[in-house]
């Protein structure tokens, strides 16, 4: 009897072990890329992995900003049920790395030469404590103007080079009876625009000090006040219905020619593409006036979790595929962003994409590649959201003057630190 | 608990004579407890256990993940400070003043409208069977659906204002949903639309329960219709008022989704309720301690309303 039991146990264990030894040919991926263009872009990765024999198990959680997905991820990690990888933004990666749940891709990174090809500013978020914990998928930049060319031609406008030029251009549009500035009155959109305004008003040095280093002197300086004044100038050119509008509806206003320009990150280009518009003939992409040469970025990352041994091979395959040149090119052409490594050829990209790639390279070399505070790449979420609060309250009139805005900003950021 | 134990003790000697029946009857005695045990345990853990956990977290320094070292009441200090920052309004100040405005108007209008509709429907009119579900059905919709539908209806560029402009009334102006000072009232409108039919059904049931003899007696004594309702019907409906109040109060306090779907937070966060504040801080801003503290304060507020009610109800029953 006992003997039988022992044999049974031994068999069962050996069976369990042998099952363990075989790798699980599956990647589990948590993400919020559920809209048409984004889903299509991700499909490229799915097919690349299928070629290597890895099945793809989607854990999509809809909701543009990824809040719902992040809540789901928190629950999965708390339950010890790590996905192979999850789409993540900026400081979230570092938070999870600090909690000790991220994997280690350093070997793969060395083999693939990520240290050299991925911009240093991005490595700040994908490397924790000397270990690669995430694979950056793309680089978005937020200091762009998206202009309807037909409207631009009608009002006889030219590319604005300075902030004053920009205001003059908006005036022209207003006189011609189109909505000059398409803006969605949600706090992140207002703050995203304000990122560009600060860079334009104070220059690269100032942006870094105020928005990345959170230097108090800079935050309460006259330059910051002037930035708020400039923001107030821009807000005068939006239509009365802007409050609460989604960003893609604001983009649609520009596409349809109801509005002249939108200040938005390059994900807006995806909307133009979806409407079959070509850059140069239907729409124009310029850097936000006064910010040429600098890039305010955010980046989507695939955070790699510390999965059990039998699922590590699939994870390495996923990471390698993510940062392969072919995927970086194919994915970013569809998504509207630029590759997360600077050595990807730009042949497949449109005019805006080519400019984006060149700008990123220049900014990376010149040290003018800065994290967007509004997008959570300038400071941790608590600070970033406090900043969005202040900007939004200023836009909507709860905060009345730029003096007050600066005081509130310092106070809110202090509170959130 | 003690009464149950006593009955069992009393019963045991009688059953001793027949051991088989004793086991069965003991099982029968235990059956309700056995059946209730899982849900009781689940409630203890998932409701009360997590309440205690939240209270504990609010005294820690939890950020993205819970941390278990107690660090004091800093979260409460921050909330307390924010309570008095009215110009420019802090998010917490906005949330609690909105809760006051929304809670008060929502409960008051729902009660008044519900009672009014119920009285009208109670006039033995034809087609009541059709009218009643029409008013009741909004309750079957989720807050998300209500929120989105009203968002489109109230949007000046899409809904009511746009339509009236197209019909020629171009001076019509209704942009509350885009206005930081009025956006909370649009939440009241949508909330009332959804819940007043349900309150109506409660009042209607109450009205049907009133003894017709009393009404007839009052009419013979020469009471006018107004006096009849003012002096007799409404006082008799007191228990319905209390149940409706409790249902509405908890709906008001937990309406998070309505604010999100209808206003996505409102211009500059001006439509936030404490539940929005809690979610924002816990999950979006990684300030779990502050989020927990605000949840505890919400719980305290509800307790302050519910406990006196339960107390008065139970006291009346024991009399």
pLDDT digits (tens, 9 = 90+) for B31-56: 988 899 999 999 999 999 999 999 99
Greater model confidence, B101 or B72: B101
CA distances from A118 to A125, A133, A135, A225 (A): 11, 14, 10, 35
In the numeric block, which tokens belong to residue B294?
């605000």
In the numeric block, which tokens belong to residue B200?
């109506």
State the Cα–Cα distance between residues A373 and A196, nearest whole angstrom: 10
In the numeric block, which tokens belong to residue B224?
């006018």
Q: Which residues contact A105 (CB under 8 A, 6 or more apart)?
A: A131, A132, A133, A135, A304, A315, A316, A319
Minimum mean pLDDT range among A41-45, A60-64, A73-77: A60-64
Q: Which residues pair with A57 in a beta bridge?
A: A28
CA distances from A414 to A211, B58, B286 (A): 13, 20, 15
Residue A201 pLDDT exceeds 60: yes
Q: Are A135 and A105 in contact (CB under 8 A)?
A: yes
State the Cα–Cα distance between residues A291 and A284, nearest whole angstrom: 16
Greater model confidence, B311 or A343: A343
Its domain, for residue B227, covers 81-318
B12 part of a folded domain = yes
The per-residue pLDDT for range A365-390, each reduced to its tens digit, is 999 999 999 988 999 888 999 999 99
Cβ of B270 within 8 Å of Cβ of A396? The answer is yes
B66 part of a folded domain = no
CA distances from A111 to A105, B181, B210, B268 (A): 10, 58, 83, 48
pLDDT recorded at residue B41: 93
Nearest-CA distance A101 → chain B (Å)? 12
State the Cα–Cα distance between residues B203 and B120, nearest whole angstrom: 11
State the Cα–Cα distance between residues A208 and A200, nearest whole angstrom: 12
Indicate which of A244, A384, A388 best probes the interface with B, i.e. most B CBs within 10 Å of its own CB: A244
Residue A12 pLDDT exceeds 50: no
Pairing of strands A283-287, A144-148: antiparallel
State the Cα–Cα distance between residues B183 and A401, nearest whole angstrom: 22
Contact list, B286 vs chain A (CB under 8 Å): 95, 380-382
In the numeric block, which tokens belong to residue B127?
């087609």
Which stretches within A22-35 are classed as H helix? none
B203 lies in the same domain as B247: yes
pLDDT recorded at residue B2: 43
Pairing of strands A26-31, A283-287: unpaired
CA distances from B196 to A138, B109, B249 (A): 50, 8, 13
- The pLDDT mean for chain A works out to 89
State the Cα–Cα distance between residues A311 and B202, nearest whole angstrom: 57
pLDDT recorded at residue B205: 92
Q: Hey, CA dihedral for B56, B59, B63, B69, is it positive or negative?
A: negative
In the numeric block, which tokens belong to residue B89?
């309004």
pLDDT recorded at residue A159: 93
DSSP summary character for residue A237: T
Q: Which residues pair with A297 in a beta bridge?
A: A141, A371
B162 part of a folded domain = yes
B85 lies in the same domain as B54: no
The per-residue pLDDT for range B121-167, each reduced to its tens digit, is 888 888 888 888 888 888 888 888 999 999 999 988 888 888 898 89
Contact list, B88 vs chain A (CB under 8 Å): 393, 398-400, 404, 408
Residue A65 pLDDT exceeds 80: no
B159 part of a folded domain = yes
B172 lies in the same domain as B229: yes
pLDDT recorded at residue A4: 52
DSSP A263-296: E--TTHHHHHHHTT--BTTTEEEEEPTT-TT-EE
pLDDT recorded at residue A185: 87
B231 lies in the same domain as B131: yes
B113 lies in the same domain as B179: yes
pLDDT recorded at residue A20: 46
Nearest-CA distance A92 → chain B (Å)? 9
B150 lies in the same domain as B238: yes
Other Cβ atoms less than 10 A from the Cβ of B10: the count is 9
State the Cα–Cα distance between residues A304 and A29, nearest whole angstrom: 10
- Rounded to 5 degrees, φ, ψ at B167 are -80, -5
DSSP summary character for residue B46: I
CA distances from B178 to A267, A283, B183, B185, B205 (A): 26, 29, 7, 11, 39
B98 lies in the same domain as B39: no
Residue A288 pLDDT class (50, 70, 90 cuts): very high
State the Cα–Cα distance between residues B234 and A195, nearest whole angstrom: 59
B292 lies in the same domain as B150: yes
Cβ of B88 within 8 Å of Cβ of A74? The answer is no
Residue B1 pLDDT class (50, 70, 90 cuts): very low
Query: Which is nearest to A353 in space by CA: A332, A370, A372?
Result: A332
B178 lies in the same domain as B47: no
B13 lies in the same domain as B53: yes
Residue B253 pLDDT exceeds 90: no
Contact list, A389 vs chain B (CB under 8 Å): 91, 268-269
A244 touching chain B per CB within 8 A? yes
Structure-derived torsion over alpha carbons of residues A325, A330, A335, A340, reported in degrees to the nearest 10? 0
State the Cα–Cα distance between residues A223 and B35, nearest whole angstrom: 69
Q: Which residues contact A100 (CB under 8 A, 6 or more apart)?
A: A306
Domains of chain A are 26-139+298-355 (3.40.190.10), 141-297+361-416 (3.40.190.10)
Average pLDDT for residues B266-274, to the nearest whole number? 91
At A258, is the secondary structure helix, strand, or coil? coil
State the Cα–Cα distance between residues A185 and A154, nearest whole angstrom: 27
pLDDT recorded at residue A99: 86
Return the percentage of chain B with pLDDT > 70, whole number. Answer: 92
Give the burial class of B205: count Cβ atoms within 10 A of its Cβ; 0-12 exposed, 13-18 middle, 19 or more buried: exposed
Q: Which long-range contacts (CB under 8 A, 24 or more apart) does A155-159 make?
A: A155/A260, A157/A260, A159/A284, A159/A286
pLDDT recorded at residue B172: 87
Total structural domains within chain B: 2
B3 part of a folded domain = yes
In the numeric block, which tokens belong to residue B237?
């409906």
B268 part of a folded domain = yes
Average pLDDT for residues B218-230, to the nearest whole number? 85
- Is the backbone of residue B123 left (phi > 0), alpha (psi -120 to 50) or beta? alpha
Residue A38 pLDDT exceeds 60: yes
Q: Which residues contact A238 (CB under 8 A, 6 or more apart)?
A: A179, A180, A181, A182, A183, A185
B231 part of a folded domain = yes
Q: Find the helix packing angle between B2-16 and B19-43, rounded to 10°.
A: 160
DSSP B303-319: HHHHHHHHHHHHHHHH-
Find the chain B residues whose C-beta atoms sit closer than 8 A to any C-beta of A.
Answer: 63-65, 78, 88-89, 91, 155-157, 175, 177-178, 180, 263-270, 280, 283-287
Residue B315 pLDDT class (50, 70, 90 cuts): confident
- Measured at the CA of B168, the angle between CA B166 and CA B173, to 5 degrees, comes to 80
pLDDT recorded at residue B72: 87
B8 lies in the same domain as B133: no
Cβ of B285 within 8 Å of Cβ of A396? The answer is no
A201 touching chain B per CB within 8 A? no
pTM recorded for the entire structure: 0.84
In the numeric block, which tokens belong to residue B116?
């009014």
**Which residue's structure tokens are 């301690």?**
B289
**Which residue's structure tokens are 């307790």?**
B303
State the Cα–Cα distance between residues B173 and B162, nearest whole angstrom: 9
From A95, A244, A386, residue closest to B263, measured CB to CB:
A244
Cβ of B88 within 8 Å of Cβ of A408? The answer is yes
Domain finish residue from B58, B73, B101: B58
Residue B109 belongs to a domain with what CATH number?
Answer: 1.10.3720.10
CA distances from A182 to A262, A287, B145, B263 (A): 5, 16, 27, 19
DSSP summary character for residue A134: E
Q: Are A65 and A99 in contact (CB under 8 A)?
A: no
Residue A14 pLDDT class (50, 70, 90 cuts): very low
B248 part of a folded domain = yes
Q: Which residue of A has its CA nearest to B284?
A: A67
B236 lies in the same domain as B276: yes
Indicate which of B61, B267, B269 best probes the interface with A, i.e. most A CBs within 10 Å of its own CB: B267
Residue A63 pLDDT class (50, 70, 90 cuts): low
Helix, strand, coil fractions of chain A, as percent rounded to 5 = 55, 15, 30
The per-residue pLDDT for range A240-276, each reduced to its tens digit, is 888 888 888 999 999 999 999 999 999 898 889 888 9
pLDDT recorded at residue A72: 87
Its ipTM equals 0.80
Query: Which is nearest to B200 in space by CA: B132, B120, B118?
Result: B118
State the Cα–Cα distance between residues B37 and B80, nearest whole angstrom: 40
pLDDT recorded at residue B175: 87
Return the percentage of chain A with pLDDT > 90, whole number. Answer: 62
State the Cα–Cα distance between residues B316 and B307, nearest whole angstrom: 14
């Amino acid at each position: 009897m006992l003997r039988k039991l022992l044999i049974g146990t031994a068999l069962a264990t050996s069976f369990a072990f042998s099952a363990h030894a075989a790798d699980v040919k599956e990647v589990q991926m948590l993400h919020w890329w559920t809209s048409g263009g984004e889903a299509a872009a991700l499909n490229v990765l799915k097919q690349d992995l299928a070629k290597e024999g890895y099945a793809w198990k989607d854990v999509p959680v809809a909701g543009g900003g990824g809040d719902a997905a992040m809540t789901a991820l928190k629950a999965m990690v708390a339950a010890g049920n790590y996905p192979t990888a999850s789409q993540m933004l900026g400081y979230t990666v570092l938070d999870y790395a600090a909690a000790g749940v991220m994997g280690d891709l350093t070997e793969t990174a060395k083999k693939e030469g990520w240290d050299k090809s991925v911009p240093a500013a991005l490595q700040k978020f994908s490397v924790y404590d000397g270990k690669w914990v995430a694979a950056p998928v793309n680089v978005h930049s937020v200091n762009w103007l998206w202009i309807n060319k037909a409207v631009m031609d009608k009002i006889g406008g030219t590319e604005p080079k300075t902030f004053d030029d920009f205001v003059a251009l908006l005036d022209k549009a207003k006189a011609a009876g189109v909505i000059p500035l398409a803006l969605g009155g949600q706090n992140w959109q207002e703050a995203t625009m304000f990122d560009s305004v600060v860079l334009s008003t104070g220059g690269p040095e100032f942006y870094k000090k105020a928005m990345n280093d959170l230097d108090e002197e800079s935050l309460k300086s006259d330059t910051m006040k002037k930035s708020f004044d400039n923001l107030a100038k821009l807000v005068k050119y939006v239509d009365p219905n802007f409050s609460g509008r989604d960003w893609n509806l604001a983009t649609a206003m520009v596409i349809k020619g109801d509005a002249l320009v939108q200040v938005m990150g390059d994900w807006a280009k995806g909307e133009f593409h979806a409407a079959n518009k070509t850059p140069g003939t239907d729409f124009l992409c310029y850097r936000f006036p006064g910010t040429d040469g600098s890039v305010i970025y955010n980046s989507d990352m695939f955070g790699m979790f510390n999965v059990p041994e039998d699922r590590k091979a699939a994870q390495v395959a996923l990471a390698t595929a993510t940062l392969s040149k072919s995927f970086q090119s194919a994915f970013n052409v569809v998504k509207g962003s630029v590759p997360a490594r600077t050595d990807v050829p730009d042949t497949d990209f449109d005019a805006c994409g080519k400019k984006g790639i060149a700008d990123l390279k220049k900014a990376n070399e010149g040290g003018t590649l800065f994290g967007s505070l509004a997008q959570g790449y300038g400071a941790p979420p608590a600070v970033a959201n406090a900043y969005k609060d202040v900007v939004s309250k200023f836009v909507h009139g709860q905060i009345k003057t730029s003096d007050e805005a600066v005081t509130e900003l310092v106070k809110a950021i202090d509170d959130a630190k | 608990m003690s009464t149950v134990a006593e009955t069992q003790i009393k019963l045991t000697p009688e059953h001793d004579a027949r051991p088989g029946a004793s086991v069965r009857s003991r099982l029968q005695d235990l059956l309700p407890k056995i059946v209730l045990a899982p849900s009781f345990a689940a409630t203890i853990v998932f409701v009360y256990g997590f309440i205690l956990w939240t209270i504990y977290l609010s005294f820690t320094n939890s950020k993205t993940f819970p941390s278990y070292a107690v660090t004091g009441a800093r979260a409460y200090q921050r909330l307390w400070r924010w309570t008095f920052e009215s110009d420019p309004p802090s998010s917490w100040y906005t949330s609690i003043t909105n809760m006051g405005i929304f809670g008060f108007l929502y409960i008051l209008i729902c009660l008044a409208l519900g009672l009014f509709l119920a009285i009208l429907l109670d006039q033995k009119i034809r087609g009541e069977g059709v009218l009643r579900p029409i008013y009741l059905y909004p309750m079957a919709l989720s807050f998300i659906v209500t929120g989105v539908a009203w968002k489109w209806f109230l949007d000046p560029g899409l809904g009511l204002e746009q339509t009236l402009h197209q019909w020629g009334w171009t001076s019509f102006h209704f942009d509350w949903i885009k206005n930081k000072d009025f956006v909370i009232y649009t939440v009241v409108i949508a909330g009332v639309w959804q819940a007043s039919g349900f309150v109506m059904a409660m009042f209607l049931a109450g009205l049907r329960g009133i003894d017709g003899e009393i009404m007839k007696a009052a009419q013979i004594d020469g009471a006018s219709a107004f006096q009849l309702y003012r002096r007799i019907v409404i006082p008799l409906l007191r228990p319905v008022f209390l149940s409706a109040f409790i249902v509405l109060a908890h709906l008001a306090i937990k309406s998070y989704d309505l604010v999100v779907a209808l206003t996505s937070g409102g211009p500059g966060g001006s439509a936030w309720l404490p539940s929005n504040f809690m979610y924002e801080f816990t999950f979006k801003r990684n300030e779990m301690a502050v989020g927990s503290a605000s949840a505890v304060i919400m719980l305290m507020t509800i307790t302050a309303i519910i406990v006196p009610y339960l107390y008065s109800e139970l006291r009346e029953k024991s009399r």
